[in-house]
Amino acid sequence: MSCKVIITRDHEGRRLDRTVRSIWPALPLSAIMRSLRRGEVRLDAVRAREAGTRVHAGQELFVPWEEPENDARVYVRGTVPVIWKGLGALVVDKPADLLVQPDVKDGDSVITRVWAMFGRGGLGFSPAAVHRLDRNTTGVLVVALSGEALRELERLFKERLVEKRYLALVVGELPQKGQVDAPLLKDEVNNLVRVSGDGKTARTRYRRLAAGGGLSLASIELLTGRTHQARVHMAHIGHPILGDRKYGDIETNRLRKAEARRPLLHAHELGFPENLSGPLSELAGKTFRADLPIDMKMIIDRQGWTAEL
């Protein structure tokens, strides 16, 4: 089977691979890349082999797959809490133990839940996550509802114009404040990140909000957006995030495993600049916050901390 679709304005200027994934969200990335390498994908009858090829509204896209399903039903286990909804963007409060993107067809994730709640978009544009949070990180996440909004949001994040502040419970008494400037290198095979001079620039600013009983409550501002950045940087300075099995303190995690079943890291706040126009004008100057999840709140209450978050 094969089909032809006309590129809509929602995809104007997007990469070809992202456009295809948006129209066929259940199609594995490996299948897309294989078809590109084989020359099976064409734009206006010309073979398109590069994933980064930019597409334009009105172009005819030919692919060796069936037409995308217009059925907006997605079978998931629940919904996702909505903090704010505008015309071009949706801000949600991501729970723990939930992927941002599905890893299997119709798998449970933030995005499939959003599709179920607000529709999938058919041949136009399927709501798409603008940035990522780890599976077990909770908090504020932005989803684009149109192609134009997605492109502008991606630009804001790339240019580091969005303020990202996290809250974390870390091991030990954290210094009152400081900054970590340590490049990070990702091991793609093992999905591990480490500090390395061969890595990419990464900067994290932190501030201690409370401390006691072998723990600290930290406010963490990510000045760059690298994979596992907060987790690796806090471990690098000797104050790993409580419950982090990958980069954390083994003994502390063992002693507190009943109350810390995940890395206790929460995307608390996301702030947008004032001078936004066009599809993002509704976000200008807005700051969104997600309440602390229950596991972190219980520990903070037990510690008797009354820190201003």
Q: What is the pLDDT of residue 69?
A: 58
Same-domain check for residues 189 and 277: yes
**Nearest CA among 87, 92, 94 for reference residue 147:** 87
**Average model confidence (pLDDT) across the chain:** 89
What global pTM score does this model have?
Answer: 0.78
Is 77 contained in some domain?
A: no
Q: What is the pLDDT of residue 170?
A: 98
- Residues marked active site are found at 134
**Strand, helix or coil for residue 208:** strand
* Amino acid letter, 51: A
HSE at residue 4, side-chain half, CA atoms within 13 A, is 8
Q: What is the pLDDT of residue 84?
A: 95
Per-residue pLDDT, averaged over 242-261, amounts to 94
Q: What is the pLDDT of residue 68?
A: 67
Q: What is the pLDDT of residue 72?
A: 42
Is 44 contained in some domain?
A: yes
Per-residue pLDDT, averaged over 126-145, amounts to 93
Q: What is the pLDDT of residue 124?
A: 63
The values of phi and psi at residue 136, to 5°, are -105, 10
Same-domain check for residues 189 and 134: no
pLDDT above 80 for 26: no
Same-domain check for residues 20 and 141: no
Render pLDDT for 90-117 as a digit per residue (tens, 0 to 9).
Answer: 999 999 999 998 877 768 899 989 988 8
Per-residue pLDDT, averaged over 244-254, amounts to 95
Per-residue pLDDT, averaged over 38-53, amounts to 90
Q: Are strands 215-222 and 192-195 parallel, antiparallel or unpaired?
A: unpaired
Per-residue pLDDT, averaged over 257-264, amounts to 93
Are 208 and 218 in contact by the 8 Å Cβ rule? The answer is yes
pLDDT above 50 for 73: no
- Give the structural domain span for 253: 163-303
Is 118 contained in some domain?
A: yes
HSE at residue 191, side-chain half, CA atoms within 13 A, is 3
Is 120 contained in some domain?
A: yes
Residue 125's CATH number: 3.30.2350.10
pLDDT above 80 for 135: yes
- Following DSSP, what letter does each residue of 161-184 receive, concatenated? -SEEEEEEEEES---SEEEEE--E
**Could you say which of 124, 158, 192 is where a domain stops?**
158
Domain count, the chain: 3
Q: Indicate the pLDDT class of residue 121, thresholds 50, 70 and 90.
A: low
Per-residue pLDDT, averaged over 62-80, amounts to 65
Is 73 contained in some domain?
A: no
Integer Cα distance of 222 and 167 in angstroms: 11
Give Cβ neighbours of residue 81 (< 8 Å, ≥ 6 apart): 92, 93, 95
Give Cβ neighbours of residue 178 (< 8 Å, ≥ 6 apart): 205, 206, 237
Same-domain check for residues 198 and 295: yes
Render pLDDT for 266-297 as a digit per residue (tens, 0 to 9).
Answer: 999 999 999 999 889 999 999 999 999 999 99
Q: What is the pLDDT of residue 123?
A: 53
**Nearest CA among 149, 143, 160, 140 for reference residue 224:** 160
Place of tokens 């990335």: 29
Residue 57's CATH number: 3.10.290.10
Render pLDDT for 153-195 as a digit per residue (tens, 0 to 9).
Answer: 999 999 999 999 999 999 999 999 999 999 999 998 888 999 9
